[in-house]
């Protein structure tokens, strides 16, 4: 175990533990009594909340004027409001709705409060352990509290009058729709599985409140029941192209952020890194088919003429403000053609844009070859979300190269290893090892780790990590072996800073934390290309750190063996092949590593 692993396994948890008991606990202890009003209000309220049967009545009697106005307004009132008002007013109506429901929810629902009330009623001490509480309750909460609107929506869904995917259409606000859907699905789940929670809901641990569903609805996700919180770590700073940046990483893999951070430190202390986008263009490759191979050949020849490109690109470029056709690569298989359209897409990742342009270009081809049949707008020669040689060779999205020279001092002090070992490890592992594995684009230690974490944090399409993490990592000694030159080359970084998940507040916040303002791109494509260069730099940091850890681990082992008196025997133990004569020392002498002469 290296010192870094030791740090994260033992020292940090210990420190956190101390901080919790010495700082957090006393703080809560002393600060909480300073707000007697709040706890008193909650206590009073809880004692007013009778058993569950009564809650519906309570719902009505304790409504604030705002929430009562809101719950008497029918869905049609809202539709009227929406039609007649501009975007701002519509937003205002939704906001009122959300506030009203949030405040009434705070007052009345909240499964825990109801349970607490029930626990009180049953005469159980509130500080009893959970199993005790459950036992004394002797009943589970089966029907969560519902407002009238929710109750009627749920009724409609359960009765099959309102499709479960369309609750948003009839609910007054998005969160209500999500709440109703959770309850509807809960009912279905109860039919098949047993729930292991106190509140009798399968969605107990899945939060849904305080989320801007307006930005999700119709864009990012359907049949929404909540969201999964993923911790976001922040690695850096690291100097990339003369700018100090940080990397937001959404991950649940321990040590990943810490390791990347160490790589950043090593780069930072060696004058930073440079990262370049050398090619930019999203691709889409439809499959078209002709009655015979001869016609396919004829079409291929036509498509490869310059005039044809002009013709196609004119139509293609007309379909959007930023989509600009760059090339069409034609592959043939019998009477099938696969046309790999490649286009610039501004700051968008570009899949929709290139698909739209491609559709238009196909019309032009059809006009010249009436026998042509479009088998599929995507013919997998694109190649989206699947490992493929065409992406590895031709690139897709942004092709990024990032490089740094790490000084020998830093390799020793920060990375705890040496230049020669790292170079060797990279060759044997990332190059030879990946060749032995028959890898496609996997000539790296863990590029996908960093790419995935930043993709999720910044709202990229997570499935595109497949090709976006294709990467070759190269290490060489520099300055007569004193320093280390490291580069990563990623041919298919598929990213955007507008559209997709980037529109969500958390994700766009992460983009801003990387120095990218999604709302203001200096020029079309500049933001998304910057994001690609930063991802290249982050992969550089990640590769550096993991390779060093592997090398250092190897060094520790080597040292231990070296220090043992019977080093030969121990080395021999390691190299001994597994033999059928279990445990018995083989009879042949230890192999000699002395080179023989030719
Ligand atoms: C949903 O709303 C539409 C339009 O307001 C209405 O016609 C329909 O009856 C409602 N459906 C249900 C199940 O409430
Ligand atoms: C799940 O529950 C439904 C009833 O809602 C039932 O029709 C179905 O057979 C159940 N499936 C299993 C695997 O138990
Ligand atoms: C479409 O845009 C591409 C890329 O900018 C350009 O090369 C091509 O000439 C344009 N086509 C036309 C007809 O303007
Ligand atoms: C290993 O041997 C070296 C050289 O003899 C010595 O300096 C070092 O302290 C030893 N390390 C351990 C862990 O015994």
Domain holding 322: CATH number? Answer: 3.30.70.420
One domain, residues 363 and 451: no
| H or E segment to which residue 478 belongs | strand 471-478
191 Cβ closer than 6 Å to some ligand 2 atom: yes
Quote the pLDDT of residue 68.
33
pLDDT, tens digit (0-9, with 9 covering 90-100), for 95-118: 444 444 444 444 434 444 454 455
Quote the pLDDT of residue 199.
67
Instruction: Judge whether residue 134 has pLDDT over 70.
Output: no
| H or E segment to which residue 168 belongs | helix 167-170
Q: Could you give the 3-state DSSP secondary structure of residue 130?
A: helix
One domain, residues 340 and 484: no
Average pLDDT, the chain: 80
Quote the pLDDT of residue 554.
64
Quote the pLDDT of residue 561.
60
192 Cβ closer than 6 Å to some ligand 2 atom: yes
Supply the pTM of this predicted model.
0.72
Instruction: Judge whether residue 594 has pLDDT over 90.
Output: no
Residue 263 lies in a domain: yes
What is the biggest distance separating any 2 CA atoms in the chain, rounded to whole angstroms? 98
Residue 266 lies in a domain: yes
One domain, residues 488 and 349: no
Ligand with smallest separation from the Cα of 324: 3
403 near 274, Cβ under 8 Å? yes
Residue 324 lies in a domain: yes
**Which amino acid residue places its CA nearest to atom 10 of ligand 1?**
170
194 or 257: which leads in pLDDT: 257
Q: How far is residue 387's CA from residue 44's CA, in Å, rounded to a whole number?
A: 61
Question: Which segments within 159-309 are labelled E, that is strand?
Answer: 232-240, 243-250, 274-284, 287-289
Probe target for ligand 2 pocket from 184, 191, 194, with the most ligand atoms within 8 Å of CB: 191
Residue 290 lies in a domain: yes
Residue 532 lies in a domain: yes
563 or 453: which leads in pLDDT: 453
One domain, residues 501 and 433: yes
**Which amino acid residue places its CA nearest to atom 13 of ligand 1?**
162
Instruction: Judge whether residue 234 has pLDDT over 60.
Output: yes
Provide the domain limits for residue 519. 232-279+389-560
Quote the pLDDT of residue 310.
97
One domain, residues 267 and 292: no
Mean pLDDT along residues 512-536: 97
One domain, residues 261 and 368: no
Quote the pLDDT of residue 558.
56
Quote the pLDDT of residue 564.
54
For 21, counting Cβ atoms within 10 Å of its Cβ (0-12 exposed, 13-18 middle, 19+ buried), the class is exposed
Domain closes at, from 321, 344, 376: 376
Domain closes at, from 376, 407, 436: 376
**Which amino acid residue places its CA nearest to atom 2 of ligand 1?**
170
Quote the pLDDT of residue 553.
80
Quote the pLDDT of residue 16.
52
161 Cβ closer than 6 Å to some ligand 1 atom: yes
Residues assigned a catalytic role: 253, 385, 461, 559
Residue 178 lies in a domain: no
450 or 598: which leads in pLDDT: 450
**Which amino acid residue places its CA nearest to atom 11 of ligand 2?**
192
381 or 578: which leads in pLDDT: 381
One domain, residues 343 and 399: no
One domain, residues 426 and 354: no
The total number of structural domains in the chain stands at 2
Mean pLDDT along residues 347-355: 96
Residue 419 lies in a domain: yes
One domain, residues 306 and 441: no
188 C-alpha to center of ligand 2: Å? 8
Instruction: Judge whether residue 29 has pLDDT over 80.
Output: no
Quote the pLDDT of residue 237.
98
182 C-alpha to center of ligand 2: Å? 18
| H or E segment to which residue 338 belongs | strand 336-345
One domain, residues 328 and 404: no
**Which amino acid residue places its CA nearest to atom 1 of ligand 2?**
192
Q: How far is residue 373's CA from residue 90's CA, in Å, rounded to a whole number?
A: 46
Probe target for ligand 3 pocket from 308, 315, 322, 324, with the most ligand atoms within 8 Å of CB: 324
Say which range, 197-201, 399-403, 582-586, has the weakest mean pLDDT: 582-586
Share of the chain above pLDDT 70, in %: 67
Instruction: Judge whether residue 37 has pLDDT over 50.
Output: no
């Amino acid at each position: 175990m290296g010192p870094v692993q030791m740090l994260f396994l033992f020292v940090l948890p210990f420190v956190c533990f101390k901080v919790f008991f010495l700082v957090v606990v006393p703080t809560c202890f002393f600060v909480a009594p300073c707000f007697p009003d709040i706890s008193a209000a909650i206590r009073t309220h809880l004692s007013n909340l009778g058993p569950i049967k009564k809650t519906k009545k309570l719902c009505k009697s304790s409504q604030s004027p705002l929430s009562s106005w809101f719950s008497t307004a029918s869905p049609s009132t809202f539709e009227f409001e929406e039609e007649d008002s501009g975007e701002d007013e519509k937003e205002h109506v939704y906001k009122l709705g959300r506030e009203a429901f949030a405040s009434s929810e705070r007052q009345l629902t909240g499964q825990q409060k109801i349970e607490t009330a029930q626990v009180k009623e049953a005469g159980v001490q509130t500080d009893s352990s959970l199993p005790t509480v459950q036992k004394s309750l002797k009943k589970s909460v089966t029907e969560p509290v519902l407002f009238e609107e929710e109750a009627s929506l749920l009724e409609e869904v359960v009765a099959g009058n309102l499709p479960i995917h369309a609750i948003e259409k009839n609910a007054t606000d998005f969160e209500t729709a999500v709440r109703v859907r959770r309850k509807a699905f809960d009912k279905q789940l109860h039919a098949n599985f047993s729930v292991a929670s106190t509140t009798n809901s399968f969605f107990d641990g899945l939060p849904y409140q305080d989320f801007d569903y307006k930005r999700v609805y119709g864009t990012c996700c359907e049949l929404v029941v909540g969201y999964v919180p993923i911790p976001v770590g922040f690695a850096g700073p690291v100097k990339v192209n003369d700018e100090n940046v940080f990397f937001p990483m959404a991950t649940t893999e321990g040590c990943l952020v810490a390791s990347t951070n160490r790589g950043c430190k090593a780069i930072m202390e060696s004058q930073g890194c440079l990262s370049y986008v050398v090619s930019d263009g999203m691709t889409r490759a439809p499959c078209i088919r002709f009655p015979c191979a001869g016609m396919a050949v004829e079409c291929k020849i036509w498509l490869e003429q310059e005039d044809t490109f002009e013709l196609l690109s004119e139509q293609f470029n007309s379909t959007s403000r930023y989509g600009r056709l760059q090339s069409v690569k034609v592959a043939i298989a019998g009477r099938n053609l696969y046309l790999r359209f490649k286009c610039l897409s501004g700051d968008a990742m570009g899949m929709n844009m290139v698909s739209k342009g491609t559709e238009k270009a196909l019309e032009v081809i059809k006009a010249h070859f009436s026998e042509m049949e479009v088998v599929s707008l995507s013919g997998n020669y694109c190649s989206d979300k699947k490992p493929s040689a065409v992406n590895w060779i031709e690139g897709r999205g942004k092709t990024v190269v990032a490089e740094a020279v790490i000084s020998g001092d830093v390799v020793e002090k920060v990375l705890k290893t040496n230049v020669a070992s790292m170079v060797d490890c990279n060759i044997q592992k990332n190059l030879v090892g990946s060749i032995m594995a028959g890898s496609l684009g996997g000539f790296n230690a863990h590029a996908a780790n960093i790419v995935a974490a930043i993709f999720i944090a910044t709202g990229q399409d997570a499935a595109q990590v497949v090709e976006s993490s294709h990467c070759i990592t190269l290490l060489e000694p520099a300055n007569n072996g004193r320093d280390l030159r490291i580069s990563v080359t990623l041919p298919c970084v598929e990213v955007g800073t507008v559209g997709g998940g980037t529109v969500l507040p958390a994700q766009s916040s992460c983009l801003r934390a990387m120095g990218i303002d999604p709302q203001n791109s200096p020029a079309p494509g500049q933001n998304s290309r910057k994001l690609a260069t930063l991802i290249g730099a982050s992969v550089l940091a990640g590769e550096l750190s993991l390779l060093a850890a592997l090398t250092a681990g190897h060094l520790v082992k080597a040292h231990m063996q070296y220090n043992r008196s019977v080093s030969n025997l121990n080395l021999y133990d390691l190299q001994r092949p597994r033999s059928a004569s279990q445990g018995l020392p083989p009879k042949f002498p230890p192999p000699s590593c002395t080179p023989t002469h030719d």
